[in-house]
Amino acid sequence: MILPWLILIPFIGGLLCWQGERFGTTLPRWIALLTMSLLLVLGLWLWATGDYTLAPAPGAAPLWTSEFRLSWIERFGIEVHLALDGLSILMVVLTGLLGVLSVLCSWKEIQQKVGFFHLNLMWILGGVVGVFLAVDLFLFFFFWEMMLVPMYFLIALWGHSGSTGSTRITAATKFFIFTQASGLVMLVAILGLVFVHYSQTGVLTFNYADLLKTQLEPGTEFLLMLGFFISFAVKFPVIPVHSWLPDAHAQAPTAGSVDLAGILLKTAAYGLLRFALPLFPNASAEFAPIAMGLGVFAIVYGALVSFAQTDIKRLVAYSSVSHMGFILIAIYSGSQIALQGAVVQMIAHGLSAAALFILCGQLYERLHTRDMREMGGIWGRMPWLPAVSLFFAAAALGLPGTGNFVGEFLVLIGTFPQAPWITVLASTGLVLGSVYSLIMIHRAYFGPARAEGALLGLNTRELSMVLGLAGLLILLGVYPQPVLDTSAASMQGVQQWLSTALTQLVSAR
Amino acid sequence: MQITTQQLIALLPLLITSATIVAVMLGIAWKRNHSLTFILSVSGLNLALLSVIPAAKVAPLAVTPLLQMDSFAAFYTALILVATLACVTLIHAYMGDKSGTPGYPGNREEMYLLILLATAGALVLVGAQHLAGLFIGLELLSVPVYGMVAYAFFNRRSLEAGIKYMVLSAAGSAFLLFGMALLYAESGSLSFASLGNALAPDGVQGSLIHVGIGLMLIGLAFKLSLVPFHLWTPDVYEGAPAPVSAFLATASKVAVFAVLLRLYQISPATSGGWLNDLLSLIAVASILLGNLLALLQSNLKRLLGYSSIAHFGYLLVALIASEGMAVEAIGVYLASYVLTSLGAFGVITLMSTPYSGRDADALYEYRGLFWRRPYLTAVLTTMMLSLAGIPLTAGFIGKFYVIAAGVESGLWWLLAALVIGSAIGVYYYLRVTVTLYLVEPKLQRRDAPLRWNLGSGGIMLLLIALLAFGLGVYPQPLLELVQQSGLLVG
């Protein structure tokens, strides 16, 4: 019974925030903080008490740690069907954590329409939790599309107007159209799958467990898989369809960037792991080389473009493209180690990207620019912030001791036996990663100072946010075992689906 | 011919509406009173709406060779009556009442008469099972609408729109009549069923039939404003008083689409490939052109006009699918579309209330509305998101249904057009939405009355918004209703 509450809490909290504005601008912030803390605590409690050796695996009805079913639209056999396994709980906890942070980081930044802002923020997070819990394909799509609207408002209404002609509304609209149109392609694919299942069994259902049993013709399976992949690829983002990401990041308020990079991108990886691979294992196996190629391209291209940016938020945004490439490779490698690495990388990137965007936000509040050409010499002008930035830049380049290292290392070592060349090329991403990370530090914090005078230091709220994230990232780097244990069963299931299909594919050739 | 009590009951909605027309007419002749006329019309329409229940109980039943009362007709009758009720309420708000504000300067009462007449026409149309019934219904629907569109005749645009609509609509009717004549010449019959039998693949196969069906299609496409017969739509939507545009977009189009659906389902001439190809072409053109042209609009009424062209393109996808859940999909889509359009035009109406020359329909007049009329903005936001088909709104369920019908019949090209069209559509719906929330300009502006939500129009609008949201969250009741109103072919 606790699962629907994980979704309802943010939605109700959001409405309270909206109405709470009548009693001043501080109340919505506290309500939002409380809501997100509640979500985080509930998530942690579920993590501590649940049995995460249960997860869906091929050949049997999916097992879940916790499940909730309620009939919804009987005409189509649609249910409010939520379920939790190791992968979902990790993502839910990450959502709760970044939710708390995104409320904290907007404490000073957002001064207008505070109640409405937090309504949107809470609803995004509620939608994201819904995506992570839904195992009814209609419900999944419902949340997938639904979270776009508040995100759109967040960027369009509280965003920063742009550096070079592009306004926040353009960026928000671009984000919305990319994701919405690709979402409709997924809806068509979902319905295609449902009707194939209907023609075989005579039962109209959107239930994950039932649809897993559908027998698909190879051609149909490939097309349906492609429908899912296109939608996830846009969110991921994979290179040809990534162009919304830097714009959206650059114009979004800090909280928007934190959510976007930290969790919205992870919904795509989650979708691939939960739906695309298990539902269409054979087509995915066939598609794996292309997907991995796209992943490598994303790593290298993202890193190179990142290096060329002058806007610090765009730089971090492109580095996300690069880091997500590792996850894409791992997902299609069919190796248990790499898949585990992908989960660690998802969490580590969630934390480090969130921290970098928070730091960018703090810098922006002090300098009112994101252009690195107008920064420089900040190291001497303020304490803490440059040093912490250096830490997270090091984390982003995969320095041992941070979670990013564990994630990337596991991905590379797991992928190597399957696809050595892909791995070799992907490793260059680490080198390029250090180039753009260090150049960011160099341009922004070293060199001659542009202006005299000390900048306002970080206050307790700001400092505790970034130091907390740094602590978690180190914890993940030196002791990732709890995370690995939690996701092991889920990843084993995914690995079995894909590797069976991969072996069949090899023997067929 | 004997008419039984059963048949009278089946005809009850139409009879009550007609009786209301007479009562309103006599009432106006006796004493001009805006509120009285309004109350009379509303109670008549409500009675007619209630009488749908007994009428649906005796269905299916043929009343005269012209009309047929079945669950399909009952559903659309109810939909049209609800839409009309909403429009009448909006008209009442729009015309303005006596307290203080001047409102509409001319005679107000005839508007109710006209809208009731048009509604009677729409009710005939959804029950028509004979080409003569179709034509009577269509003309009874169209002719009063000319008057309604031009009702604000002090305003040049309204007058122009009325004349434009009249000329083009008459041209459409002429096409329709000519098509009917050709069909009659070839088959010797005018009722849908015998037409269907005569035109079956093994029946008569003259070339005149194709021409006849084509001409009829042109006539109906005019009324539904499908590309390439859409040219009148934006101008008429813009020129007509806002509540009249609401009526045009909802009741009028629903009735015509319902009769098209019935004709299409019963007449097997549709099984011929060429008609499907033609309709597919019209659908794709309507979706793409409607959405693309809507991008360029800065006038809310014109934008809604173009968007309605696109929406009827989506509906054609379900019509072409024509099997499985297509009839249901059309029912759900039309219901959600009616709800959404009423909401959107309702907001425009309240913003232009009371009547003062020009309607508040320019997009800039809505800038920053959220900070002045938050709930009214919430209504319009819901409507825009519903038109765009975003989850949590009724429009999403409608779009989901249409896509499901398309997937079921494997209409991949049409679905591709639908996806592209929706992507384009999102852009302008969002543009409207975000405008509402931007910081308000320091310009002189018009606003809805401060206590807009206390009038009947405001309450109705809030109800519509709640319904659009509620059906998006829990659509099961609507789906059950529509499922029961399937069309029995044969």
Q: List pLDDT tens digits, range A195-237.
A: 999 999 988 899 999 999 888 898 999 999 999 999 999 998 8
Q: What share of chain B is helix, strand, coil (3-state, %, to 5)?
A: 75, 0, 20
Indicate the length of chain B as a whole number.
490
Domain-wise residue ranges, chain A: 1-270, 280-509
What integer pLDDT is reported at residue B315 of this predicted model? 94
Assign A210 to helix, strand or coil: helix
Pairing mode, strands B67-69 and A66-73: unpaired
Handedness of CA B289, B295, B297, B302 (dihedral sign): positive
Tell me what percent of the residues of chain B surpass a pLDDT of 90.
54
Task: Determine contact, residues B316/B230, Cβ cutoff 8 Å.
Answer: no
Which chain B residues are closer than 8 Å to A179 by Cβ? none
Chain-chain contact of A72 with B474 (C-beta, under 8 angstroms): yes
Q: Do residues B215 and B185 make contact, with C-beta atoms less than 8 angstroms apart? A: no
Contact residues on chain B for A74, CB-CB shorter than 8 A:
476
**Section B249-272 average pLDDT:** 82
Facing residue for A188 by CB, picked from B415, B423, B475: B415
Quick check: B476 and A72 CB within 8 A?
yes
State CA B125 to chain mean position distance. 12
pLDDT tens digit string along B405-436? 999 888 899 999 999 999 999 999 998 998 88
Q: Which residues of A touch B288 (CB under 8 A)?
A: none
pLDDT at A162: 54
Pick among B386, B415, B480 to test the A interface (most A CBs inside 10 A)? B415
Share of chain B above pLDDT 70, in %: 93
Interface of B with A (CB under 8 A): 385, 388, 390-392, 396, 400, 403-404, 407-408, 415, 418-420, 422-423, 426-427, 430-431, 434, 437-438, 474-476, 479-480, 483
Substitution target in B372, B407, B424 with the highest count of A β-carbons within 10 Å is B407
Are B422 and A169 in contact (CB < 8 Å)?
no
Which of A153, A176, A188 lies nearest to residue B426, judging by beta carbons? A176
Q: How confident is the model at residue B445 (pLDDT cuts 50, 70, 90)?
A: low
Q: How far is A364 from chain B (nearest CA, A)?
A: 22
Which pLDDT belongs to residue B488? Answer: 58
Which of A72, A75, A152 is opposite residue B483, by nearest beta carbon?
A75
Q: Where are the alpha helices (DSSP H) in A147-202?
A: 148-158, 168-201
Instruction: Identify the residue among A7, A19, A137, A187 best suited for mutation to test binding to B, counting B beta carbons within 10 A and taking the highest.
Output: A187
Contacts of B423 in chain A (CB under 8 A): 177, 180-181, 184
User: How many CB atoms neighbour CB B284 within 10 A?
Assistant: 21
Cα separation, B216 vs B176, in Å, equals 4
Distance CA B34, CA B92 (A): 8
Taking CA–CA distances from A196, the nearest residue in chain B reads B408
CB contact under 8 A, B422 and A72: no
pLDDT band at B362 (very low <50, low <70, confident <90, very high): confident
Give residue B344's identity as a one-letter amino acid code.
Answer: A
Q: How many CB pairs under 8 A join A and B?
A: 77
Task: List chain B residues with CB under 8 Å of A70.
Answer: none
Q: Which residue of chain A is at minimal alpha-carbon distance from B403?
A: A188
Q: For chain B, give the mean pLDDT.
A: 88
Closest CA to B429 of B289, B294, B233: B294
Q: Note whether B476 contacts A73, CB cutoff 8 Å.
A: yes
Chain B residues whose CB is inside 8 A of the A75 CB are 476, 479-480, 483
Q: Which of A176, A186, A231 to mutate to test the interface with B (most CBs of B within 10 A)?
A: A176
Q: Give per-residue pLDDT as tens, B187-229.
A: 888 888 888 777 766 655 667 877 888 898 899 999 999 988 9
Q: How far is B78 from chain A (nearest CA, A)?
A: 22
B408: chain A residues, CB-CB within 8 Å: 191, 195
B479/A177 CB distance under 8 A: no
Prior bond to A58 cis, omega within 30? no
Q: How far is B427 from chain A (nearest CA, A)?
A: 7
Interface touch B390/A148, C-beta < 8 Å: yes
Inter-chain contact A143–B480, Cβ cutoff 8 Å? no
Burial of B98 (0-12, 13-18, 19+ CB in 10 A): exposed
Check whether B490 has a pLDDT greater than 50.
no
Q: Residue A66 gets which letter from DSSP?
A: E
CB distance A177–B423 less than 8 Å? yes
Cβ burial of B378 (10 Å; 0-12, 13-18, 19+) is middle
Flag if B392 and A146 touch (Cβ within 8 Å).
yes
Residue among B315, B305, B308 at smallest CA distance from B237? B305
d(CA A191, nearest CA chain B) in Å: 6
Interface touch B431/A145, C-beta < 8 Å: no
CB neighbour burial string for B120-147, b if at least 16 within 10 angstroms, e if fewer:
bbbbbbbbbbbbebbbbbbbbbbbbbbb
pLDDT value at position B446?
65
**Rounded distance between C-alpha atoms, residue A380 and residue A398, angstroms:** 26
Q: Is the pLDDT of residue B340 over 60?
A: yes
CB contact under 8 A, B426 and A172: no
Distance from CA of B175 to the nearest CA of A (A): 37
CB distance B480–A72 less than 8 Å? no
Contact A184 B431 (CB under 8 A): no
For B422, which residue in chain A has the nearest alpha carbon? A181
CB–CB of A177 and B426 under 8 A? yes
Using the beta-carbon criterion (under 8 Å), do B407 and A188 form an inter-chain contact? yes
User: What pLDDT, on a 0 to 100 scale, did the predictor assign at position B205?
Assistant: 65
Instruction: Give the pTM.
Output: 0.92
- Convert the pLDDT of each residue in B465-486 to its tens digit: 999 999 988 998 888 888 887 7
Name chain A contacts of B388, Cβ cutoff 8 Å. 180
Q: Where residue B339 falls among pLDDT bands split at 50, 70, 90? A: very high
Ranges in chain A, pLDDT < 50: none
A336-367 vs A312-331: helix crossing angle, rounded to 10: 170
Q: Which of A79, A142, A149, A193 best probes binding to B when mutated, by most B CB atoms within 10 angstroms? A: A149
Chain B: give the shortest CA distance to residue A105, in Å.
23
Distance from CA of B452 to the nearest CA of A (A): 21
pLDDT at B163: 93
C-alpha–C-alpha distance, residues B350 and B448, integer Å: 5
Closest Cβ–Cβ partner in A74, A153, A188 for B476: A74
CB atoms within 10 A of CB A63: 16
- How many beta carbons lie within 10 A of that of residue B69, not counting itself? 28
